[in-house]
Amino acid sequence: MRFSFDKAACQNTRRALRKEWLLTNGLGDYASSSILCCNTRKYHGLLTVNTKHGRHVLLSTLEESVAGAGKEFFISTRQHPEVIHPGGHQYLERFQLEDRPVFEYRIGDVKISREMLLTPGVSRLAARYSFQSGPGTPQLRLVLKPLLAFRHFHSLTHANPALNTATSPLDNGFAIAPYTGLPTLYVQTNAKHEFSPSPDWYYNVEYFQEAERGFPDLEDLFLPGVLSIPLKDGQDVFVTFGTTPCEEDIKKLWKRECKRAQAGRNGPGLVGVLGEAARQFCISTPSRRPAVLAGYHWFDSWSRDTLISLPGLTFLNGETEFGLKTLRQIAGALRNGLAPNYFVEDGDNAYNSADAALWFAFAVQCFLKENPDGLGLVREQFWPALKLIVRGYRQGPGLDIFVDQQGLLHAGNAHTQLTWMDANSGGRPMTPRHGCPVEINALWYNTLAFTDYLANRFREPDWEATDALRDMRAAFFEHFWVAREGGHLGDVWRNGMLDQSIRPNQIFAVSLPYPVLEERYQPSVVECVRNRLLTPFGLRTLSPANPAYKGLYEGGPEERDAAYHQGTVWPWLLGHYGDALLRTAWDMQGAVSGLLDTLTPLFSDHLADAGLGCISEIFDASPPYRPNGCIHQAWSVAECLRLVLRLKKAAPAEYEYWEKLLALRLANPPSGDTAGVCRALMTPA
């Protein structure tokens, strides 16, 4: 997928600074910035590495210039209070992103471009500088000043005497180890150069997106020294920044990785675009454990997010073995039937989720759906875990999780948040949902029905669930059904009362493989969700008619947490909305066509906004549905990919026609912003 922004788009700094690119390498490392290569978040950095102690921004940015004949022109850009300095973006003619970001600058007759990539499986950034000059151009030098942060990516750094400023010379560069316990940084080039150690601090680098989120936004960056490289017309300069020395020829490394990136593309069409984005979440941790990062830049690995995302990221995306490894790892971490909500490198995992283990059953179901001959594998590797989950929940695993006398699953108390709507502030739940939440019970029923099916297939007559399923279905309807306004499901049954708020959680009672809601009531739930909650970017978390509804996700942490599940739109819910829609539709082609038409802005406008080629975590609940949260969210990408594949299979003719229209919209953005032609989408699969 290619995005291309011309000079006019790049000079519109208000928009350009909010368009971000991301590179990953399968280790949890990343490189990321805005399309001006100007960092706007503390999470931005050209080399952020995943260590046993968390992710750390090592190389924040570069100050780059072209110097000669007594003049110096900067091509780099930073923000300081009330000023963008140096103003390298003024020379930026074009930004392109496909396999890697490409920045093209023009200074008079001199053209210079910068390209960057991360090497898979190695903590190393490689950069290529290409140079062309006009007649009469004096001898020029490329001047590179690495600006280092060397701090945890949630923190900011400031000038301090504890930093070791000493550099060690290398044949082709230098190395520096600023702090004990953090990696050494090796800076190397293939070009003839001079390195001048010149330790200094750059003060008050500003990240405006942190200020908008209510966090500190100023830090100081350390300059270890200056690389000066003579430039020759038509000759490329290669530079690497890594945590280990680069022992091979850098130019050969660059060619190999470019070739590998091209060979690894998923192919044409929206499915290919989302498939490429999906692979960026699947990593190997420093302890060599398979993991799914919930979102870039700042989320870690959580079982709930992992298990919801796994079908789209792996079983539907050619990464089945990674998916199975991840399932095996989670199965081995079960405790009293609960899956850990949060994985940590030292193994002291957090068990504070009521639904993660129930999503384990759904992930296994999705594996079987895509691999019908995998029943033997399920029996050997996952059947014991599924039985452990059911028995653990029935016995009561703690956290006020238990099955009541009517078979409904109760979870938590007034001080805990055990569902996916888990925002809290100062230890206080912002969306209290203790009691019997509707989706927890839909997931519990689905898990019971699935294990009942497997017990029959595996001929284990002692596994009795049929009566429990029948009784629970009746109790579920009795407690959750709201007959007024066409009928819908309430959200939480607690202390003999039903919270009748219209939320998207009710959709799971229809969407899961074994729906707990009887068939005749299912269309009403889908209709309610479509009319009250569906937007072009996902489902709202609360109906606008509710007095607690918040249309905007903005302000400081407490304000944003208060809006997180009180209207804010979540794209990941679209996967299950699509499942429910297709289950209840009487006109399949019309239903698919209508949903695709509704979601066109998500798959066109948004792909060229926020995180380029990615799907954000959340959107404002009210128009114009501004994207927010993480720019690249695992379950957003995974569930949208799963949805697109389902719709494509359900109505192929309608899907093919829509994708052609989508390609035209991508080529000619309605906003007038030069998003460029997405080549992958111009040739639908």
We report the CATH number of the domain holding residue 85 as: 2.70.98
Question: Which two tokens mark 424?
Answer: 């809290």
The CA-based diameter of the chain, rounded to the nearest angstrom, is 89
What pLDDT does residue 676 have?
A: 47
pLDDT tens sequence across 529-555: 999 999 999 999 999 999 999 999 999
Of residues 153, 155, 215, the one with CA closest to residue 557: 215
Number of structural domains found in the chain: 2
The pLDDT assigned to 669 comes to: 66
How far is it, in rounded angstroms, from Cα 558 to Cα 593? 39
CB atoms within 10 A of CB 169: 10
Question: Which whole number is the average pLDDT over 398-425?
Answer: 95
**Each residue of 112-138: pLDDT tens digit?**
999 999 999 999 999 999 999 988 889
pLDDT at 681: 54
- R_g over Cα of the chain: 26
Q: What tens digit of pLDDT does each residue of 429-485 get?
A: 999 999 999 999 999 999 999 999 999 999 987 776 667 898 999 999 999 999 988
| pLDDT at residue 27 in the model | 97
Q: Identify whether 245 is preceded by a cis peptide bond (ω within 30 of 0).
A: no
Question: pLDDT tens digits, residue range 646-657?
Answer: 999 999 999 999
Q: Over 50: is that where the pLDDT of 489 sits?
A: yes
Domain for residue 37, yes or no?
Answer: yes
Burial 125-162, CB ≥16 within 10 A → b, else e: bbbbbbbebeeebeebbbbbbbbbbbbbbeebbeeeee
User: What is the percentage of the chain residues whose pLDDT exceeds 90?
Assistant: 88
pLDDT of res. 674: 42
Sequence-distant (≥ 6) Cβ neighbours of residue 245 within 8 angstroms: 170, 175, 186, 188
Answer with the one of 213, 245, 263 that is the final residue of a domain.
263
Any idea what DSSP says for residue 183? Answer: P
Confidence band (pLDDT; 50, 70, 90) for 267? confident
Is residue 163 situated within a structural domain?
yes
Question: Would you call 560 helix, strand, or coil by DSSP?
Answer: helix
Range of the structural domain that residue 553 is part of: 533-685
Among 210, 232, 263, the domain boundary falls at 263
Is position 253 within any domain? yes
Q: Give the model's confidence band at 678: pLDDT under 50 very low, under 70 low, under 90 confident, else very high.
A: low
Q: Is residue 359 part of a domain?
A: no
Percent of the chain, pLDDT > 70? 97
Residue 682 confidence (pLDDT) above 50: no
Residue 383 has pLDDT above 70, yes or no: yes
Query: Average pLDDT of 420-428?
Result: 89
> Which of 217, 234, 263 is a domain's end point?
263
pTM: 0.95
pLDDT in tens, 581-608: 999 999 999 999 999 999 999 999 999 9
pLDDT score for 306:
98
What are the tens digits of pLDDT across the range 222-257?
A: 999 999 999 998 889 999 999 999 999 999 999 999
Confidence of residue 292 (pLDDT cuts 50, 70, 90): very high
